[in-house]
Chain A
Amino acid sequence: DAGVIQSPRHEVTEMGQEVTLRCKPISGHDYLFWYRQTMMRGLELLIYFNNNVPIDDSGMPEDRFSAKMPNASFSTLKIQPSEPRDSAVYFCASTGHRDRGETNYGYTFGSGTRLTVV
């Protein structure tokens, strides 16, 4: 498996523009997570899905942020309109269900998208 794939790797956009970040989880993983990493706040969980259904979106900062998972192999995180304070690295991660007894249970992260809003 190629691992968790995120695109784009870097994104520079102007304030007010719409930004869409994409993620392809590992095939067979039940859970997908979106994190945001900044120097000030560290790694924050924004939202996570189980079997394509959003379970907890309490970390989504405001209505400008939205996330979807239309199928098991694809998720998007959208920011509209973007603001300079949204500048951060956004990670996607996936994992299987731990009760399957997988000996290598763990969370696999994508390479992240560095978003800069100017």
Chain B
Amino acid sequence: AQTVTQSQPEMSVQEAETVTLSCTYDTSENNYYLFWYKQPPSRQMILVIRQEAYKQQNATENRFSVNFQKAAKSFSLKISDSQLGDTAMYFCAAAGANSKLTFGKGITLSVRP
């Protein structure tokens, strides 16, 4: 089983600046996936980025990138050039061999104009 911890309940960033959201996890498995999901006020859950644990290279998707530290079990999300539309809740999640997806408690990100 996996556990996911997001210890920061909220963060704020100025538009166009960079922000990093923290996440740690625990698992006894070697082959697992990590995800970041965005939930805007519309409540839709949107997949932002995924990381396969056996891949050492950090995943990137346009302005979004991760810092995956497998030994430290850390999986942070970096948002570059923050935009007003990035304002949302962000959830870190992990899935192991049984495909059960476990979420952290989420962090509320506000982008200030």
Contacts and interface: CB of A to CB of B under 8 A. Distances in A.
Interface string A92-107: 0101011000000111
Given A42-B106, A93-B45, A107 B101 contact: yes
A45 B102 contact: yes
Contact of A42 (B44, B98, B103): B103
A105 B50 CA distance: 8
Contacts of A111: 43-44
B44 A107 contact: no
A98 B33 CA distance: 9
A108 to B, nearest CB: 8
B47 A107 contact: yes
A79 to B, nearest CB: 20
A98 B100 contact: no
Interface residues of B, number: 20
B105 interface: yes
B35 interface: yes
B47 A106 contact: yes
Contact of A109 (B44, B98, B99, B106): B44
A112 B43 contact: yes
7 interchain residue pairs of minimum CB distance? A109-B45, A43-B103, A42-B105, A106-B47, A31-B99, A107-B101, A112-B43
Given A48-B99, A95-B101, A114-B43, 19 more contacts: A42-B103, A42-B105, A43-B103, A45-B101, A48-B100, A56-B98, A91-B45, A95-B99, A97-B99, A98-B99, A105-B33, A105-B50, A106-B50, A107-B35, A107-B47, A107-B93, A108-B47, A111-B44, A112-B43
Interface of B: 33, 35, 37, 43-45, 47, 50, 91, 93, 95, 98-106
Interface of A: 31, 33, 42-43, 45, 48, 50, 55-56, 89, 91, 93, 95, 97-98, 105-109, 111-112, 114
